[in-house]
Structure formats: structure tokens, C-alpha cells
Amino acid sequence: MAETTRADEELYRQLAKGREEAFSALYERYQAPILRFAWHMSGNSATAEDVTQEVFMLLIRNPKSYDPAKGSVAGYLFGIARNLTRRRLERSRLDEPLAEEWAQGSETGLASDTDLLGDLTRVELLGCLQKAVLGLPEQYREVIVLCDLEEMSYPDAAVVLQCPAGTIASRLHRARVMLKARLECQGCVK
Amino acid sequence: MNESDSRLSAALRHLGAIAPRGAPAALGDMLKDEFRRQHARRRRERNARILLIAACFAGFAIVSFFIWPDAPNKTASHEPVQIAPSPRAKVPAGLPELPALRESQAKVEKSHALSRKKKNSVPEIAENRFVALPTFDPAIPIDHSEMVRVDLPGRDLRLVGYPVSEEIADRRVLADVLLTQDGTPYALRLVQNSRIKEQ
């Protein structure tokens, strides 16, 4: 991670000088994680794309805004994505439509290995799970998204969320407990 | 990790797997175009700023050339007015003259005499010998020395360790200062201007 951080910082310096290759490299490295993060946090493709676009537009318009002393480039970009997603959710309160879109999206993604995953992998139950994830308080949802959905390591998630790895572990444990409780309440699992 | 935990983890991984793999290519192209546009604009702005600053400097140089074409000569002609009578008689006694300095002093005086002849400027006569300052260390060889002439209040000479009597302290004095190669003053003499003598 430290090497990646240094490489990112170098790319960022080059980007600030106007090197397009540096921008392309940073974009290729982070567009997908940021898009997925925003998608999991909001459950909405349009919001996720808008957030991704705005994150990189900010990078283009204000390249001097990043301060290496305050954290990694990844943390900075995810921080912008978090704020933008939060703002969008507060503005539009997209809870219900999200769940619907989610169910549609999940239909295309399942088909093959449903048997392996048992009850929860059934389309409607994945919908339940998504709804439960979206219903988690933001700080718990973030760790579920990064560590479980994106399979990021604790230290990496700690860099992104700018908190100690121990905090990530404790939040994740609590988030899973809350998630199970919500799934049971919704009657999705026995 | 119990069974329900592992099932939950598996389900979450599956949930992660159905997320979009990346932003549409059009978004990337649009952002790269925007990046190019922004930086082209920034480069234009920076070049314009540089040109503006260069134009300002050029304008200032032209204006000053026409307004003050002989500014240095005027300053030179006004210089003697500021000079107070030389405190030749007030040079503190007891400070040793430096034999080691005489050679370099002679060289410097010779070159100054030559340059005075060339410039045909107001003749100035060095009235005193150089006097060593506390910073002078005879053990340290001086390969290259430079002399500068300074016009300053008498009391400021105390800052370099030159003892100054109260009479000179409140006047402006003209002094030659010898500097080592690293710029340290190591000897000083007071200078009397011939014009002042005439007065």
C-alpha cells in the first residue's frame, strides 16, 4: 500500500503539472473502485456515475487541492466520493427506487452459481441483503462496502476511511451483526 | 466464523460481484477531453501572465531610460553634500597598523587611483592607514581582498568593532572597508573627501 501511495502521489504531481498520461493512469486505477463504492453506497447507477464524474472533475479543475501531508490519494478520492454520495442521498432520498433498480440489476448478475450460495443468493434475497446494506448507518455501510463487497484489506480500508485498522475491524464486526439482525427482521433468513 | 457468518460473507461477495465493473468508456473520454481543455486554458493564462510581466518590465525600463537618463551622474554629484567632514583627527589612537595589510592596501589604492583618473571624478584622498578590526586573524591567509567604500553614520562603525569617539558617532563618515574572500570585513580606514577639505 505504501508503494501504491507513493506512486499515486507521483502521478498526482504529474497530473498537477498537466501530464495527461498521469491523469489517465489515476483514472484507470480509481474509476472502477470509486464507481462501485458510490454504487454500493447509493444503490443507483446514475448516482454512481455522477459521483465518479464529479470526483475526477474536481481533480481536473482543482489539482492543487490535494495535500499529501493529510493522507493518501486514494483516501482523498474516496473522501470526495463519500461526501458527494452523502450529499446526493440527502438531497434526493432515493431509498425506494434504489431497491427496485437493485433487484433488476441483480437478476442479470446471478444465474450460474445460485445453488452454492444457498438461500441468500436467490435474487429476492440478494435484494433483501442490498436493502439491509443500504439501511445501515453510513459508517457501518462504508466498511461493509469496502471490506466485504470490495474485499479490501483492513489497512487499505483504514487508509481510505482515514481511521485506524482496529476501528475498521470493530465497525465491520458490528455492521455484520446489524446486517444479520436486519435480515432476520425482514424475514429473509431463518 | 460460524455458518451464518460464512453464508453472509459469501452473499456479500456475490453482491459485490454484480456491481458495475467500471465507468462507461464515454465518461473516461469526456474527462480526458476536459483535462486537455483545462490544461490548455491554464497554459494560455500562464503565458499571458508571463508576457504581461515582461511587458511591464520592458515598459518600466523604457520609461526610466527617458525620464532619468543620467540618474547615476546626478547621484554622484549630490553625494559630497551628504558627506560630513572627515574625522581624520578623531581616529582612535592605539589601534595597530597592519604591516600585512600594507601590500594589499597599496594595490587597492593604486587601482583606485587609476580608476579615478579614468573616470575624472571627484578626487578622494585616503587620509588614514587601514586599521585591523577584531575579526582580523593574521593566522588566516587572505588570498583575495576587496575594498568597498561606505558612507554611514559614525556609530555604525562600532558594529564591526571599530572604536569611534562620541564626536564622530553622530556624523556620517566615509570609510574604506577591506573584505576577505568570504565577505568578512577585516580592516577599515576613514576617508576624507577633498571637497570637504576645501570647505
Render pLDDT for B167-177 as a digit per residue (tens, 0 to 9): 888 888 888 88
The CATH code that applies to domain A101-190 is 1.10.10.10
A-facing residues of B in 3-62 (CB < 8 A) are 4-5, 7-24, 27-28, 30-32, 34-36, 38-39, 42-43
pLDDT for residue A168: 92
Distance from C-alpha of A145 to C-alpha of A159, rounded to nearest angstrom: 14
B39/A52 touch (CB, cutoff 8 Å), yes or no: no
Which of B5, B10, B32 is closest, CB to CB, to A117?
B10
Please tell me chain A's helix, strand, coil percentages from 3-state DSSP, rounded to the nearest 5.
85, 0, 15
> What is the rounded distance in angstroms from the CA atom of residue A53 to the CA atom of residue A46?
11
Give Cα separations from A148 to A102, A153, A162, B22, B169 (angstroms): 18, 9, 18, 18, 82
What is the rounded CA–CA span in Å between residue A78 and residue A59?
12
Interchain CB distance below 8 Å, B39 and A20: yes
Strands (DSSP E) found in chain B: 124-125, 131-132, 146-153, 172-179, 185-193
Interface test with B, best of A14, A49, A114, A116 (most B CBs within 10 A): A49
**CA–CA distance, B87 with B91 (Å, rounded to integer):** 7
Per-residue pLDDT of chain A (190 residues; tens, 9 = 90+): 567 777 888 889 888 888 889 999 999 999 999 999 999 898 888 989 999 999 999 989 888 888 888 888 888 898 899 899 988 888 876 555 454 455 444 444 443 444 444 555 566 777 888 888 888 998 899 999 988 888 888 888 888 888 898 999 999 999 999 988 888 887 766 5
Contacts with A6 (C-beta within 8 Å, 6 or more apart), sequence order: none
**With a CB-CB cutoff of 8 Å, which residues 70-89 of chain A face chain B?**
none
d(CA B131, CA B61): 42
Q: Which sequence spans correspond to the domains of chain A?
A: 1-94, 101-190
* Total length of chain A: 190
CATH assignment, A1-94: 1.10.1740.10
Copy the grid coordinates of residue A156.
487499505
What is the length of chain B? 199
